[in-house]
Amino acid sequence: MKRLLAGIFILLLAACGPSAPASPTADLPALIPPTPTPVSESASTEDAPQPSGEEAPPFTPICIDSAPTQADIDRALSITGGLFETGDWDRTYTVASDKVLVSWYSESIPSIVNLEALVFPCGYEDLDLDIYFNEEGWEIIFGNYQGYEYVNECRDDRGLRLYNFIAVDQGVPYEVRYWVLSDTPTRVISLMVVMPGEAAELDEIAYALFPQLEFCP
């Protein structure tokens, strides 16, 4: 009897064979929902075996803190170098929950320059920037002006963007150039220069900061 039971047990083992390991799922892309507020660092998940026939759990991107660091502040304050250290440029800066804003104002030109170091804590893609810098966003940016007109936009082969506008304040038209630079996987720099149309300083600033994209051809 014992020999019979042992024989049956061996036959069962041979029939079943070794169990096959579950196949791991491939890395999922970071699908960041477009938003007008920087809430988007592209993150990848670790390969994890999934039981056969079961759906993978919903993907959750790994995000960082949205609060600017001291490095973000230093970057925002130093990115223009000494360009605005001559003349009558007055500088101010503030730190918000997800950005650093630096402003320079010249009464003699007159002109204003605004630089924002934006933090996208979950990363971003071109689509996120397309949505962030859209008509609704421009309405907010130019909210203190009497009006504005979109002229055109362009970008270079490395993703640097330039948007051109004409803005009107107290009946005076101003030329506006607005650059958007993808600085790191979680940081975007935007820089807006507002000057009277006849101001030669605009071309000088464009050449000093963005010689690869001074204006749209």
Block means of pLDDT (10 residues each) for the chain, length 217 residues?
43 41 30 36 40 57 91 97 94 97 94 96 95 93 94 94 95 95 96 90 94 93
pLDDT for 22: 36
Largest distance between two CA atoms of the chain: 108
What domains appear along the chain, each with residue ranges and CATH number? 70-213 (3.40.1000)
pLDDT for 169: 92
* Alpha carbon of residue 172 to chain centroid: 32
Is residue 32 classed exposed, middle or buried when 0-12, 13-18 and 19+ CB atoms within 10 A define those classes? buried
pLDDT for 58: 60
Tokens 């503030």 label which residue? 94
pLDDT for 199: 79
Does the pTM exceed 0.85? no
What phi and psi values does residue 119 have, to the nearest 5 degrees?
-105, 120
pLDDT for 61: 65
